[in-house]
A and B are shown apart, each in its own frame.
Chain A
């Protein structure tokens, strides 16, 4: 069974540029999470989807961050414009199929110059 797929794995951009990250969850998983992991820190939840509905986006900085999961499967997280402080790893996780476990993808490492 394929795991959570994320792309790109690495992204380097200049500040003020837009950037997008893509996540494809494990097949059949209805719940999808985006986490932000700063260097030397644990992941912090940005947004949680149940199917196509964002049920917890309280930690998402909505002035520059947006996310969508239009068909309830894959998801895109966007930053526009990016700031230096956005340099971090962006992790996607999914849960479903009767399990309580969140399965994480490898993450996208973003560097903003």
Chain B
């Protein structure tokens, strides 16, 4: 069965600092991978997705993620965070391109001024 692990429940970084959110997945074949962000009281917004091709994926709001098959990881990065990036971030996996998405438990990002 597919699963997603986000080992960090909370992460705190200073504004302007770099960010990396960790995500590990469990799936036998090449999965379809996603990162979503959820601000308080808001629905989930897709930051980026990986289906195939270049393993470094660029997303919205200056985020990027790198698919590493050998490590079963899909970590999210941003070189310089802004206070508005404070939110909950979910890594997710799907078996097929249009299949149901399995979400991790999320990482809550806090930004220090």
Listed in ascending order, the chain A residues whose CB lies under 8 Å from chain B are: 3-4, 31, 33, 40-45, 48, 56, 91, 93, 95, 100-107
Listed in ascending order, the chain B residues whose CB lies under 8 Å from chain A are: 4, 32, 36, 41-46, 49, 51, 90, 92, 97-98, 100-101, 103-106
How far is B36's CA from A107's CA once the two chains are assembled, in angstroms? 15
How far is B47's CA from A88's CA once the two chains are assembled, in angstroms? 24
B90 cross-chain contacts in A, Cβ below 8 A: 42-43
* Number of residue pairs A-B, CB distance < 8 angstroms: 48
Asked whether A41 and B106 contact (CB < 8 A) given A48-B100, A100-B98, the answer is: yes
B43 cross-chain contacts in A, Cβ below 8 A: 3-4, 91, 93, 104-107
How far is B100's CA from A43's CA once the two chains are assembled, in angstroms? 11
B4 cross-chain contacts in A, Cβ below 8 A: 42
Nearest A residue (CB) for B6:
A42
Asked whether A42 and B92 contact (CB < 8 A) given A104-B44, A107-B43, the answer is: yes
